[in-house]
Amino acid sequence: MTVLEQPGPYRPTPPPAWQPRTDPAPLLPDAEPFRVLGTPAADALDPELMRRLYGQLVRGRRYNTQATALTRQGRLAVYPSSTGQEACQVAAALALEERDWLFPSYRDTLAAVARGMDPVQVLTLLRGDWHTGYDPREHRVAPLSTPLATQLPHAVGLAHAAHLKGDDVVALALVGDGGTSEGDFHEALNFAAVWQAPVVFLVQNNGFAISVPLAKQTAAPSLAHKAVGYGMPGRLVDGNDAPAVHQVLTEAVHRARAGGGPTLVEAVTYRIEAHTNADDATRYRGDTEVETWRAHDPLVLLERELTGRGLLDDAGIRAEAEAAERLAADLRERMHQDPVLDPMEMFTHVYAEQTAQLREQAAQLRAELTAAGELPGPGEDPQEGRPR
């Protein structure tokens, strides 16, 4: 089919024949971030969903503080905290069905935990112990991605492949505002829109790409506006309003599953902690700014709504706090156990069938380790202690 033969009003010549292929008006995001908490829309919220979101936020906050402490103790090489962004990650995990796929970035450990993964397995990559640390197929969570935005084309590819196979699957890909400055972001959105792939992009706009503020990354009215250039809807949501993020993502997932194509969601949130434990955030932002955002804490906002509506009392708050402490205690205990690792495992999951070069390398390493007496002896479990 040539350009001239395409259906619809589009023609390659300028006016008067030219017309846009897509009406941009329905694709534009709202002027203000969508909110639920503290508005009349909160009356229609499912109390059980709100309590579930709250429990995940409480556990997520404690998970972040415990992982940060483990980093200071030398048990993690690095930890990018998501404190302040928990609502985005919890909502993303809960908006998906079991058959769907989550594509996280390096900061989205909490989303993986909320998806049902073992918290220790989620941290294995950041510990530097073993490959990804988990089987992506078990919970349909793609490997945590340290390179910026590379998970986005992968999400589009999986979603498009599922569509071609007739599988009822949606992919939800998370990325930070810094990731939107990468070429992978633009390529992923373009392919997703052209293919009408069942994929949802969630941009957690936490204000900074390490030390670079958003204003130095883009002059767009919002990151959600970028969706229009690719022919998909853009949604702007308060990223600290857990029910609002959940509602917007759920609608986008349903739209994708029904054949409506991709959606770009920008969640406006804030990174309370430094970029990682190796970052000094005081060099590029002031305490006043951080404290202003602490007043818009996602956990406080939801707790206030629940208690104000009589859906949560002191006993309920204590119960969730105790559950979070149990999670932290288990994480702490297991992360303080030194794993026994098998160096030969580095060849195990590279290809389904090893190449000749890999076999040669594996044989060379095995010979060197055997000569040095560093391979596990008979009856020893080389994987003992490795997080499962």
Which residues are known catalytic residues?
271, 275, 284
Angstrom distance (rounded) from CA 175 to CA 201:
8
Contacts of 166 (CB under 8 A, 6+ apart): none
Residue type, 216: K
Strand order in the sheet with 199-205: 101-103, 171-176, 199-205, 263-268, 234-238
Nearest Cα neighbor of 153 from 140, 165, 136, 171 is 171
Longest dimension (CA), the chain: 81
Angstrom distance (rounded) from CA 46 to CA 280:
41
How many other CB atoms sit within 10 Å of the CB of residue 291? 10
User: What is the token pair recorded at 12?
Assistant: 């390659």
User: What is the token pair recorded at 193?
Assistant: 């829109």
User: What is the token pair recorded at 297?
Assistant: 């804490």
Residue type, 105: S
β-strand partners of 237: 34, 267
Contacts of 381 (CB under 8 A, 6+ apart): 340
377 three-class SS: coil
SS3 content of the chain, % helix, strand, coil (to 5): 50, 10, 45
How many other CB atoms sit within 10 Å of the CB of residue 382? 15
Tell me which H or E stretch contains 175.
Answer: strand 171-176
- Alpha carbon dihedral 108, 101, 250, 65, in 10-degree steps, equals -20
Q: What is the DSSP string of 194-226?
A: HHT-SEEEEEEE-SEETTEEGGGT--SS-GGGG
